[in-house]
């Protein structure tokens, strides 16, 4: 691949075309870049048109797709799954993948099948790298250099982010610079960029006034134009030129070639439109959804005790994302106290309340929405002091894995960047999976049926972050919160620090681990009985 790109002068005024016309000239072998964040800001109409063109004509063929993060939900907003067609897709590089079961069809995403069956070249990069790489393409740099991810799955010593056997090319290299090791991501040109915004005027000027996120749309446009590429933008509406203040226009029309209007595009999964996600209209806190009773809510309630006021806190997917909702339910944000809690996610929404499920990545009632590339400057710069993240596996060497396990290939998302650069880490998740059933009764936890798969494994299947190294070498503090036990991650291993009432330490904890904690507190504290109520009682936060 080329490591230098040539510039192209800004083009003519953009024109409004159909989605089919916008993708009609994409040639065989092109690199097509696009972005969405699950359902958020996904240019679904244009991606569908490209997939439909291939289905009808068997062209174009052998495309490389570049998605800085998982785009679409593979269901109602299919996103990257529209182009997951053997023959159309030769290679994909993505910051994350999604693997939900469609409730209607019962099937998992077609893209996951192509990866599992080794039908395409599939690579997964940490989202921080996938975002910052665009900046290097845009400024015609040779590549992106970073310390983030050394010793993890993206390091060439541990696979280089390759997710299929067909993925043989070395897209990431380990290099030495001034005596220090770095990961290096060489740049290559983009041929087509597919964006999404809220509105465009007749000249193609783009604004994002009713989107919950901006993500990497600006970076994509700049990288594409530096590569001499076409830029296609999907929008909800056309507005008159001059109708918006210049600071509201985030991408100049001189950088946009084609406009596709989709007046009915969904805001995100299950949400046609809700201005509370960009604070066009603030939602009263008592209207926020309440996490369902069960292990995730219990875990979130315990982890909420680690959240501190006026400390920038970042939350990952899963039980971690339920933490702010549990805090809201407990009344901790009442009487204006929400302003004391500084919440964000890896995608740039600041303030308000982090949402969970398909609405994850955006916040209700945010105060600001930052561009995606700058958000990873925030993360990699260590400004998110506290992070609550999920875990799929935690092994005897202190390695946490969320990137690849069993038949799932979700990638790291923003996990590696966040975990490596936060000062305090809380990993949240159930102790076992695949069939776990629990009941809370009489202030105790009863394990009706344990999961078939323990998450505490001798050796993780993928290295997403080396937690013990962070504790030992960089002074990080880390803990694991499950429904039945709490652990501290010490420099020499796991320390069992709390046990749920009603849980047998030997049968339900130690015998379900493939390795032993290095220490067990004696006496072993019992988790607060207030956690084992429905709903969880208000809890004091750490100071």
| 377 Cβ contact partners less than 8 Å away, ≥ 6 residues apart | none
- The pLDDT value recorded for residue 539 is 41
- Report the distance separating Cα 238 and Cα 372, nearest Å: 24
Count the helix, strand and coil residues of the chain and give each as a percent rounded to the nearest 5: 25, 25, 50
Q: pLDDT by residue (tens digit) across 523-543?
A: 999 999 999 986 544 444 333
- Report the distance separating Cα 134 and Cα 127, nearest Å: 11
Residue 472 is inside which H or E element, if any? helix 467-474
Class of domain 275-531: alpha beta
Q: What predicted TM-score, i.e. pTM, was given to this entire model? A: 0.95
- The two beta strands, 258-261 and 230-235, are parallel
- The pLDDT value recorded for residue 103 is 87
> Residue 112 CA to chain centroid, in angstroms?
17
Q: Measuring CA to CA, how many Å separate 310 from each of 25, 189, 302, 419, 542?
A: 51, 42, 19, 20, 12
CB-based contact 95:63 (threshold 8 Å): no
Burial (CB count <10 Å: 0-12, 13-18, 19+), residue 243: exposed
Give, for all 543 residues of the chain, the pLDDT tens digit: 444 444 434 444 679 999 999 999 999 999 999 999 999 999 999 999 999 999 999 999 999 999 999 999 999 999 999 999 999 999 999 999 998 888 888 999 999 999 999 999 999 999 999 999 999 999 999 999 999 999 999 999 999 999 999 999 999 999 999 999 999 999 999 999 999 999 999 999 999 999 999 999 999 999 999 999 999 999 999 999 999 999 999 999 999 999 999 999 999 999 999 999 999 999 999 999 999 989 999 999 999 999 999 999 999 998 999 999 999 999 999 999 999 999 999 999 999 999 999 999 999 999 999 999 999 999 999 999 999 999 999 999 999 999 999 988 999 999 999 999 999 999 999 999 999 999 999 899 999 999 999 999 999 999 999 999 999 999 999 999 999 999 999 999 999 999 999 999 999 999 999 999 999 999 999 999 999 986 544 444 333
User: Which residue stretches of 266-346 are H helix?
Assistant: 295-303, 322-329
User: Which residue stretches of 339-392 are H helix?
Assistant: 372-380
Clarify whether 202 is annotated catalytic. no
| 451 Cβ contact partners less than 8 Å away, ≥ 6 residues apart | 430, 431, 432, 433, 434, 435, 436
- The pLDDT value recorded for residue 538 is 44
Domain 15-141+150-167+187-261: assigned CATH number: 3.40.1080.10
CB-based contact 312:344 (threshold 8 Å): yes
Domain ranges of the chain: 15-141+150-167+187-261, 275-531
DSSP at 473: H
DSSP three-state, residue 41: coil
Q: Which of 346, 483, 488, 498 is catalytic?
A: 346
- Report the distance separating Cα 509 and Cα 492, nearest Å: 19
The torsion defined by the Cα of 370, 371, 377 and 380, in degrees rounded to 10, comes to 80
- Report the distance separating Cα 131 and Cα 374, nearest Å: 9
Closest residue by Cα to residue 376 from 146, 161, 196: 146
- Report the distance separating Cα 326 and Cα 535, nearest Å: 9
DSSP three-state, residue 456: strand
Closest residue by Cα to residue 127 from 322, 304, 332, 375: 375
């Amino acid at each position: 691949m080329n490591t230098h790109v040539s510039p192209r002068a800004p083009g003519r005024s953009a024109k409004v075309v159909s989605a089919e016309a916008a993708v009609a000239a994409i040639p065989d072998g092109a690199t097509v870049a696009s972005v969405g964040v699950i359902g958020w800001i996904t240019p679904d109409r244009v991606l569908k048109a490209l997939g439909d063109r291939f289905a009808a004509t068997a062209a174009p063929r052998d495309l490389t797709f570049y998605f800085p993060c998982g785009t679409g939900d593979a269901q109602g907003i299919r996103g990257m799954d529209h182009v997951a067609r053997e023959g159309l897709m030769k290679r994909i590089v993505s910051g994350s993948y999604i693997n939900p079961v469609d409730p209607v069809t019962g099937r998992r995403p077609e893209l996951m099948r192509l990866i599992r069956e080794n039908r395409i070249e599939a690579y997964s990069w940490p989202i921080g790298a996938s975002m910052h790489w665009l900046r290097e393409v845009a400024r015609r740099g040779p590549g992106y250099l970073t310390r983030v991810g050394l010793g993890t799955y993206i390091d060439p010593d541990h696979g280089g982010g390759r997710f299929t056997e067909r993925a043989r090319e070395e897209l990431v290299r380990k290099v030495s610079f001034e005596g220090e090791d770095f990961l290096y991501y060489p740049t290559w040109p983009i041929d087509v960029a597919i964006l999404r915004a809220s509105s465009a005027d007749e000249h193609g000027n783009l604004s994002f006034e009713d989107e919950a996120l901006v993500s990497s749309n600006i970076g994509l446009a700049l990288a594409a134009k530096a590569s001499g590429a076409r830029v296609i933008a999907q929008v909800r509406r056309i507005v008159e030129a001059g109708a918006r203040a210049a600071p509201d226009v985030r991408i100049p029309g001189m950088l946009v070639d084609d406009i596709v209007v989709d007046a009915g595009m969904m805001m995100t999964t299950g949400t046609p439109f809700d201005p509370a996600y960009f604070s066009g209209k603030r939602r009263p806190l008592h209207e926020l959804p309440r996490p369902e009773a069960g292990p995730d809510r219990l875990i979130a309630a315990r982890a909420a005790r680690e959240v501190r006021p006026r400390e920038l806190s970042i939350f990952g997917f899963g039980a971690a994302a339920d933490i702010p909702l549990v805090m809201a339910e407990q009344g901790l944000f009442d009487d204006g106290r929400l302003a004391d809690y500084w919440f964000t996610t890896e995608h740039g929404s600041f303030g308000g309340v982090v949402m969970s499920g398909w609405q994850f990545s955006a916040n209700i009632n945010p105060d600001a929405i930052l561009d995606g590339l700058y958000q990873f400057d925030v993360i990699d710069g260590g400004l998110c002091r506290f992070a609550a993240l999920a875990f799929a596996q935690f092994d005897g060497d202190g390695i946490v894995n969320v990137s690849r396990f069993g038949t799932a290939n979700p990638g790291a998302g923003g996990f590696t960047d966040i975990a490596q650069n936060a000062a305090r880490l809380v990993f949240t998740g159930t102790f076992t999976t695949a069939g776990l059933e629990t009941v809370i009764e009489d202030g105790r936890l009863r394990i009706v049926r344990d999961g078939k798969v323990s998450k505490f494994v001798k050796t993780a299947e993928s290295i997403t972050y080396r937690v013990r190294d962070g504790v030992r070498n960089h002074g990080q503090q880390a803990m694991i919160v499950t429904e039945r036990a709490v652990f501290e991650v010490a420099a020499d291993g796991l320390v069992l620090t709390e046990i749920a009432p009603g849980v047998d330490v030997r049968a339900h904890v130690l015998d379900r681990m493939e390795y032993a904690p290095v220490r067990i507190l004696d006496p072993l504290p019992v988790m607060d009985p207030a956690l084992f109520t429905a709903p969880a009682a208000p809890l004091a936060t750490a100071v």
